[in-house]
Amino acid sequence: MLAVAVGAEAGEFTGSGYRLAMSLPRPAPSAIVVMGVSGTGKSTVGQALADALGLPFVEGDSLHPAANVEKMSAGIPLTDADRAPWLDRIATELHRPVVVACSALRRAYRDRLRADAPDLVLVYLHGTRELLAERMAGRPGHFMPTSLLDSQLATLEPPGVDENAIEMDVVLPPAEIVARVTSRLATSPRG
């Protein structure tokens, strides 16, 4: 048999004709939120995933109102009222194909985002408290102090089975997480 490739399509000549096997990649979902508590590597994984998919990346922390950053910098946990305008700004970003890093700790927050992006895919990053605290302590100058980790863990509601989430343990290196996520997206009926 003679194997040939035509552009992004591959096929083989069988002697009785040419059989075409489509090998085109599936399109990326329109919007992806890389979520989890502080210290999970949302920004690192989000940027690498966006690069791998050829999508823009938005750092959700950059969309916080100044008052939120001041509260968190002072070690004061945010309330739902504090998060509402931030979630609205993130939801606006989800109107286009994009990867956004956003804690999205509660189901209600994710439901708010899905109102603007019904096909939203979540990449849920998680790890042990010890690993996350170690990572946070190694980020000098970041506005989120390690003292807020327990508050975030207490607030966290892991995604339900109906939330179109890809779960990843952050003990894996970021490149491995991105490889696994892109593989799952390529085989997902929604991605």
pTM: 0.77
Would the pLDDT of 26 be above 60? no
In angstroms, the CA 82 to CA 67 distance is: 8
Q: Tell me the domains of the chain and their CATH numbers.
A: 26-187 (3.40.50.300)
For residue range 61-100, list pLDDT tens digits in order: 899 888 888 887 787 878 889 989 999 999 999 999 999 9
User: In this predicted structure, what is the pLDDT of residue 134?
Assistant: 77
| pLDDT at residue 19, as a whole number | 39
Percent of the chain whose predicted confidence (pLDDT) is above 70: 76
Nearest CA to 153 out of 136, 140, 173, 141 is that of: 136
Between 23 and 163, the more confident residue is 163
CB 136 within 8 A of CB 39: yes
Residue-level pLDDT at 147: 60
Average model confidence (pLDDT) across the chain: 81
b/e per residue 165-181 (b: at least 16 CB within 10 A): bbebebebebeebbeeb
pLDDT at site 175 = 96
